[in-house]
């Protein structure tokens, strides 16, 4: 039963991928004015009776991570997933708005000066990282421009701390926009990425919304 429900949920996500029929200008009109000068993700995904909020959150986290690894491969980067303590609170909270899951990767890409070393104690050191964070969910009515297979949706906005961002520990400039475009191309059409560069850029389906 669980496997069938799981497969059904994945089919819902696949349909969400194909729902991007809204024109770019209409997409911009339905998006909020950013209140923070940092990268974040907002979006909507279907609520179904077969899948719990926690499982939906896990699927979104998996989706983010798969998009990151695919984008890194296209960039020619080698990623190593780092072990984090307390990387999720799903086992301790029942409030969907408080859900959190985190992943972090080191980047090995000599052409842009990113290096990863593994010490004898297996500690991984890197001057370049990819951080993935999935914050909370809230039950919402999706806007008219977002076509989902259900009328009920989990929504996540800029206040819920969803983000995928690259970071350097030595001040070097990383190709964040190019990488984020590739990430965005592998996310559902109901998910939007914001970057503060160039006065603020929205990405959807791998393209800059204009």
Report the candidate in 157, 165, 171 with the shortest Cα–Cα distance to residue 133: 165
- The pLDDT of residue 11 is 41
Domain total of the chain: 1
CA–CA separation, 10 vs 111, rounded Å?
Answer: 37
- Condensed to tens digits (0 to 9), the pLDDT of residues 148-190 reads 877 789 999 999 999 999 999 998 999 999 999 999 999 998 9
What is the domain extent for residue 72? 2-208
Which residues are within 8 A (CB) of 75 and not within 5 positions of it... i.e. 6 or more apart? 109, 175, 178, 179, 182
Global confidence as pTM = 0.85
CA–CA separation, 123 vs 106, rounded Å?
Answer: 12
Token pair 């998006």 is found at 31
pLDDT tens string for the chain (210 positions)? 444 444 433 444 443 433 444 556 678 888 889 988 899 999 998 898 889 999 999 999 999 999 999 999 999 999 999 989 999 999 999 999 999 999 999 999 999 999 988 876 777 789 999 999 999 999 998 887 787 877 789 999 999 999 999 999 998 999 999 999 999 999 998 999 999 988 899 999 999 997
Token pair 């024109």 is found at 23
């Amino acid at each position: 039963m669980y496997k069938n429900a799981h497969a059904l949920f994945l089919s819902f996500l696949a349909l969400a991928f194909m729902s991007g029929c809204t024109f770019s200008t209409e997409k911009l009109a339905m998006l909020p004015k950013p209140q923070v000068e940092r990268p974040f993700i907002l979006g909507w995904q279907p609520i179904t009776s077969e899948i719990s909020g926690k499982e939906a959150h896990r699927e979104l986290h998996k989706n983010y991570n798969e998009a990151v690894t695919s984008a890194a491969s296209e960039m020619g980067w080698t990623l190593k997933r780092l072990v984090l303590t307390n990387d999720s609170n799903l086992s301790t909270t029942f409030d969907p708005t408080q859900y959190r899951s985190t992943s972090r990767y080191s980047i090995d890409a000599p052409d842009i000066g990113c290096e990863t070393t593994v010490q004898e104690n297996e500690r991984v050191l890197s001057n370049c990282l990819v951080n993935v964070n999935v914050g909370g969910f809230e039950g919402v009515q999706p806007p008219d421009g977002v076509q989902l297979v259900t009328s009920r949706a989990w929504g996540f906005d800029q206040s819920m701390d969803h983000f995928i961002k690259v970071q350097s520990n030595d001040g070097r400039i990383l190709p964040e926009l190019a990488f984020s475009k590739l990430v965005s191309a592998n996310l559902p059409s109901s998910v939007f990425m914001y970057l503060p560069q160039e006065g603020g850029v929205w990405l959807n389906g791998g393209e800059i919304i204009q």
